Amino acid sequence: MKISQTSQIDGCRILAAIGRIQAASAWHASCSDASHVDWRALALQNLVRAAEEFEADAIIEVDYALDDIESAELALPLQRVCAKGVAVRLAQS
């Protein structure tokens, strides 16, 4: 799966946009030591799986955001990394 943060894939021509997709990492404590877990990579891995379900060849315009939950009912504030992009099909060369 080819991935780009821009609207292009180097060396490839985009044949058709399938649509916007998004995926997220698991919820985790926002104050936890995240050095052993790459939440952004997990969100991207889930985004790739979503694109594969639509038989996409690539994902363009990939962007990341954080979702947060804070509540008096939760012992710790939670967060997750969300990855968004556009699934596309590439022209065969």
> Would you list the domain boundaries of the chain?
2-90
Q: Residue 47 in 3-state DSSP?
A: helix
Q: Residues 85, 17: contact at Cβ < 8 Å?
A: no
Quick: pLDDT tens for 14-73.
999 999 999 999 998 887 665 568 999 999 999 999 999 999 999 999 999 999 988 778
CATH number of 2-90: 3.30.110.70
pLDDT at res. 51: 98
pLDDT at res. 70: 81
Q: How confident is the model at residue 76 (pLDDT cuts 50, 70, 90)?
A: confident
What is the pTM for the complete model shown? Answer: 0.88
Structure tokens at 63: 């962007």
Q: Residue 69 in 3-state DSSP?
A: strand
66 bridge partner residues: 81
pLDDT at res. 33: 60
Residue given tokens 């490839």 in the structure block: 12
Q: How many CB atoms lie within 10 A of CB 24?
A: 19
